[in-house]
């Protein structure tokens, strides 16, 4: 598979996903993704995004100002 932007090779990788919901900042690390080895463009699958949405929903219920969550542990 090649990158939509630069046509570089797409490789499996992990990334950090950050979301701000109101006054709460949620950082999810080790999120599985596909990354272009040339330009660094990141793509996250629909399945992973559904899990991220669930993690964010749970984190906002904790009412913290900042939450750092490991995807591998929470998913």
| 41 in a structural domain | yes
DSSP 8: P
Q: How far apart are the first and last CA of the chain?
A: 26
**Structural domain includes residue 2:** no
Confidence of residue 23 (pLDDT cuts 50, 70, 90): confident
CB 72 within 8 A of CB 48: no
The domain containing residue 52 runs over which residues? 10-74
33 occurs within a structural domain: yes
The verdict on residue 36 lying in a domain is yes
Does the reported pTM lie above 0.75?
Answer: yes
- pLDDT one-digit tens code per residue, 25-54: 889 999 999 999 999 999 999 999 999 999
CATH classification at residue 19: 3.10.20
Looking at the domain assignment, is residue 1 inside a domain?
no
Residue 12: its pLDDT value, please?
98
Band (pLDDT 50/70/90 cuts) for residue 64 is low
In the prediction, which pLDDT does 36 show?
Answer: 98
User: Is there a domain that residue 18 lies in?
Assistant: yes
């Amino acid at each position: 598979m090649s990158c939509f932007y630069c046509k570089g090779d797409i490789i499996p990788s992990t990334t950090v996903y950050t979301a701000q919901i109101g006054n709460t900042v949620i950082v999810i690390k080790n999120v599985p993704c596909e990354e272009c080895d040339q330009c660094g463009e990141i793509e996250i699958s629909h399945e992973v995004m559904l899990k991220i949405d669930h993690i964010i929903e749970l984190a906002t219920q904790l009412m913290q100002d900042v939450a750092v969550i490991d995807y591998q542990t929470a998913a």
